[in-house]
Amino acid sequence: MLPRFLQVVLLALLCSASAPAAASVYYPPPDAAGGWRTLKDPAQIRRTTGIDVKRLDQAFEYAKRTSQHGGLLVIRHGWLVYERYYGKCWRDSTPSAASVGKTFTSVSCGIMLQENRDRIPEGLETKVFTDKFLPEAFPLSDPRKAEIKLGQLLAMTSGMQDGAGGTGFVNGEDVKVEAAPVRDRSLGTDLLAMRAPLWVNPGGGYFYSNLGAQVLSVLVHRITGKVMEDYIREKLAGPMEWGPWGYPPPAGGAAPAPNTPGAGGIAVRATDMLRFAYLLLHQGNWRGRQLIPSRYVELCSKPSPYNLHAPYSLQFSVNTDGQVAAPRDAFFKSGAGGYGIYVVPSLDLVVWKIGGADRQYQWTAPGLPNNTSYDGSRDKWQPHPGDQFHDPPIDVDTGVRRTLEMVVAAILD
């Protein structure tokens, strides 16, 4: 029989032979220190990442049909293999990314849950319309709001609707949601959100509610003591060393709201938005720091028990039903104006599709120059109205999904 110390050595050798060492993960330095590693030569890109650049060019040309301004950036295996812009968009532009901002609202809630477990021990099961969390909401505009859970707000199944009405979903079936009575806008964004009407009981259906997302921003402030923009700056932007960013001020010179817009509007440089997507790809870990709880990222990427009505998790669309011709583990978020952020773990892929119209490019984060190279060629751009002789117009969701499909189709390995 071998001596004990030899048994230990042999066991260690066997284990090392049978289990490959974990590959080190590449993380980019900030742009000021060199930024993402890049590949330029199409042949090298194909050898290293398995991507056909010509097909990405086709995806880019398609993306140009979906918005007035924008761009397309692709990261695979940690390499920035594609970066092209059009119109007013360029690397340092900070257009309002519309509802893509909801993903930051979501992960802010995920971080908040981890750091404040003593205050919210029930996590996503927490009923939030209480005098502890939302005292301004009392008296409740609808007694059913007392049953709304945090997970339902995040998954858009709280029962809350926006004033204009629209389409809801119950067990995958479309349901028309009637417009609600006009409310007094002098109440301010936060109170309007907390008094939003319910179209079904909490959990009874899915409705894409911007007002519900604003309630999440109020909750982040209430529980952490910081407005959400400051919380994002501390927990995400600082550790990942973003360049200048922010939330554009209200249009028309209106006074700033007391809370960060929870429904969207974040304005981040293109390569920093890639950092955020890359953070999600790596389960919330950045250089060994767990910035977002890995379990929360997992919940974002899969169907949610809080939403049995539509393929939407915690402010992300999920692809487990194969709605997009892409791997089933893909998750993504669209935004008005043609924006789309995508994470595809099985392909080690993240993509940032930038969009936007003139109004979304009116604000530039302090310290950044304007794009002086813009030639005005997109000033009169309009989406084609579509008719029987031409391709139909491309709506935001169609454009976001089709772009992902085209990028995935460029991967040949």
Q: How confident is the model at residue 372, as a pLDDT?
A: 82
Q: pLDDT in tens for each of the 413 residues of the chain? A: 434 333 333 333 333 333 333 358 999 999 999 999 999 999 999 999 999 999 999 999 999 999 999 999 999 999 999 999 999 999 999 999 999 999 999 999 999 999 999 999 999 999 999 999 999 999 999 999 999 999 999 999 999 999 899 999 999 999 999 998 878 777 889 999 999 999 999 999 999 999 999 999 999 999 999 999 999 999 999 999 999 999 999 877 677 789 999 999 999 999 999 999 999 999 999 999 999 999 999 999 999 999 999 999 999 999 999 999 999 999 999 999 999 999 999 999 999 999 999 999 999 999 998 888 899 999 999 887 765 555 677 899 999 999 999 999 999 98
Q: How confident is the model at residue 183, as a pLDDT?
A: 80
Interhelix angle 101-115/210-224, nearest 10 degrees: 30
In whole angstroms, give the CA distance from residue 69 to residue 225: 37
**Is the Cα torsion angle 260, 266, 271, 276 positive or negative in sign?**
positive
Give the tokens for residue 30.
């900030």
Query: Which positions ≥6 away from 242 have C-beta within 8 Å?
Result: 30, 236, 268, 269, 272, 275
In whole angstroms, give the CA distance from residue 369 to residue 372: 8
Domain 60-378+389-409, CATH: 3.40.710.10
In whole angstroms, give the CA distance from residue 358 to residue 95: 9
**Cα→Cα distances 168→177, 199, 223, 296, 409, Å:** 6, 9, 30, 26, 32
Going by the DSSP 8-state scheme, the letter that residue 34 receives in this structure is T
Maximum distance among all alpha carbons in the chain? 85
CA R_g for the chain: 23
Burial 241-278 (b: 16+ CB within 10 A, else e): ebbbbbbbeeeeeeeebebbbbbbbbbbbbbbbbbbbb
Q: How confident is the model at residue 13, as a pLDDT?
A: 32
Beta bridge partners of 166: 177
Q: How confident is the model at residue 390, as a pLDDT?
A: 59
